[in-house]
Amino acid sequence: MKEILQRRPVPTPKKPIAELTHEEKAQLNTIIDLLIPSDEYFPAPSSLHLIDEFLLHFAPRIDYYTPRMLHLNQLRTVLRNLDNAADGSFCSASPERQQQLLRSLEQRDPAFFQELWTLANHSYYARMAVYNPVSLPSTASFA
């Protein structure tokens, strides 16, 4: 028995979650806030720190595989292109200009935009389920 325990396979280290620079995270937060506007009932996505949830979709998963059209290098290229189109800083552009650039991205590459929007929404509502669980009022009556 002792020999069996000594020959246990060593678990392979997991590949780290995809990393973005501080500027890329700020830009992605801005984009997600534009894609999912907040209101009095739903907080801004950036306030939920959902970048980590979003980046989980870029980590290799053994339990299941879902082919994605969105890859980290492609995301970085799009972020860089949005910065260039906004004269150097997407985050410093006016909200109207930011919306205009996102609409242009959607028209140029609708499949990429749909994947970005889908991941943003999935990450947002997954995080909302943890941060703001739905609860019934204590006076609720089911008769």
pLDDT tens-place string over residues 65-105:
555 667 888 899 999 999 999 999 999 999 999 999 999 99
Q: How crowded is residue 95: how many other Cβ atoms within 10 Å of its Cβ?
A: 10
Q: Is the pLDDT of residue 138 over 70?
A: no
Per-chain mean pLDDT for the chain:
79
| 3-state secondary structure (DSSP) of residue 89 | coil
Q: Residues 39, 45, 77, 85: what is their CA dihedral angle, to the nearest 10 degrees?
A: 30
Q: What is the pLDDT of residue 37?
A: 92
Q: Is the pLDDT of residue 64 over 60?
A: no
Name the band, by pLDDT with cuts 50, 70 and 90, for residue 137.
very low
Alpha carbon distances (Å) from 138 to 58, 69, 134: 40, 44, 12
